[in-house]
Amino acid sequence: MNDNYLKVARLAAAAGAKILLSYQGRFSVREKAPRDLVTEADVAAQQAIQKILLSNFPDHGFVGEEEGHDQVSAEMLADPNHPPIWIVDPLDGTVNYVHQLQSFAVSIAMYHAGELQVGIVHDPVTREIFWAQRGGGAFLNDIPIRCSTTDRLEQALLACSFSAGTQHDSSELSRFAAALDEAQSVRRLGSAALNLCYVASGRLDGYWATCVKPWDVAAGALIVSEAQGEILSLSGEKFDTWDPRFVATATKSLNDQLRRCLA
């Protein structure tokens, strides 16, 4: 793996984080969909990130929250000779950001030859930078991180994500109630990227989601894997970057228990 990929990704994430901080409290908000907010800040951050990535790697693909996802085909993803594809969420945790809750992040991943290869999640407020390269371990800033050793659901602190406009009779709420009944506790923190990083660093023991997009979780999924965690589809199959309905946990045993609980 080219170490320059990681270096440039970190520069791009830092540029995006700087823009998000500069916009705090002075941006306008519009509705992208009911209860789904988009700001001038995330558009500006994505433009800055895209410029840095593609000026360094002009032949690479780019998939961002605001554009590019309709240009990715199954054939492209399966072709080992296709150039790498960057998967970017310039502002994961938009609702938190809009309401000045200080839990949001920039997420950048690189996908190549059927696998995630690089992942960066940059928290602008805490200045925590979670990162990983395939086969190289996971890090918080430059300190190696590992998942917890929790292997019993009743001892696990979990997080989950709901879709915008979740209805009272939805399967998402049914899963939440089931997990709340069996786990130590469950949180809904508002940033999928940070949830995964918190699993990787042992702050959370598990996280599941059925309503997120690839750009929300691609970087964090690699970071969990490289921190020796377990991330699988709800049915126990390999995590699919492009269809991310998954359970991420500290240990395999915990993953098995949580998936049974959510079934």
Whether residue 158 sits in one domain with residue 134: no
Do 211 and 172 contact (CB within 8 A), yes or no? Answer: yes
35 falls in which pLDDT band (50, 70, 90)? low
Whether residue 138 sits in one domain with residue 226: no
Residue 162 Cα distances to 54, 174, 188, angstroms: 33, 11, 8
Listed residues 118, 144, 170: the one ending a domain:
144
Selected residue with higher pLDDT from 25 and 22: 22
What CATH number is attached to the domain comprising 116?
Answer: 3.30.540.10
Whether residue 82 sits in one domain with residue 41: yes
Whether residue 163 sits in one domain with residue 139: no
Whether residue 224 sits in one domain with residue 99: no
34 falls in which pLDDT band (50, 70, 90)? low
Inform me whether the pLDDT recorded for 2 exceeds 90: no
Q: Is 65 annotated as a binding residue?
A: yes
Q: What is the domain count for the chain?
A: 2
Whether residue 139 sits in one domain with residue 66: yes
132 residue type, one letter: A
Q: Phi and psi at residue 78, in whole multiples of 5°? A: -85, -15
Inform me whether the pLDDT recorded for 246 exceeds 80: yes
Distance CA 219, CA 13 (A): 12
- For the ranges 18-27, 74-83, 216-225, the maximum mean pLDDT occurs at 216-225
Rg over CA atoms, the chain: 17
Whether residue 137 sits in one domain with residue 244: no
Inform me whether the pLDDT recorded for 25 exceeds 90: no
What 3-state class would DSSP assign to 212? coil
pLDDT at 165: 67
**Chain segment 88-131, per-residue pLDDT in tens:** 999 999 989 988 899 999 999 999 999 999 999 999 999 999 99
Where do runs of H (alpha helix) occur along the chain?
3-23, 40-56, 74-78, 94-98, 171-182, 192-200, 214-226, 252-262
Whether residue 163 sits in one domain with residue 132: no
Q: Is 216 annotated as a binding residue?
A: yes
Inform me whether the pLDDT recorded for 69 exceeds 70: no
Whether residue 163 sits in one domain with residue 122: no
Whether residue 66 sits in one domain with residue 34: yes
Q: Is 173 annotated as a binding residue?
A: no
pLDDT at 219: 98
Distance CA 55, CA 185 (A): 45
Distance CA 90, CA 131 (A): 16
pTM of the shown model: 0.94
Q: Is 115 annotated as a binding residue?
A: no
pLDDT at 3: 78
Inform me whether the pLDDT recorded for 27 exceeds 90: no
Distance CA 246, CA 233 (A): 4
CA 144 to chain CA mean position, Å: 19
Average pLDDT over residues 226-248: 97
71 falls in which pLDDT band (50, 70, 90)? low
Distance CA 13, CA 223 (A): 15
The rounded mean pLDDT for the chain is 92
Listed residues 123, 144, 165: the one ending a domain:
144
| CA end-to-end span of the chain | 38
Whether residue 15 sits in one domain with residue 139: yes
**Chain segment 168-198, per-residue pLDDT in tens:** 777 888 899 999 999 999 999 999 999 999 9
Which DSSP symbol is given to 70?
Answer: G
Whether residue 137 sits in one domain with residue 20: yes
Q: Is 91 annotated as a binding residue?
A: yes
**Chain segment 192-228, per-residue pLDDT in tens:** 999 999 999 999 999 999 999 999 999 999 999 999 9
- By C-alpha distance, which of 203, 233, 228, 205 is closest to 217? 233
Domain of residue 20 covers: 3-144
Listed residues 144, 172, 198: the one ending a domain:
144
Inform me whether the pLDDT recorded for 70 exceeds 80: no
24 residue type, one letter: Q
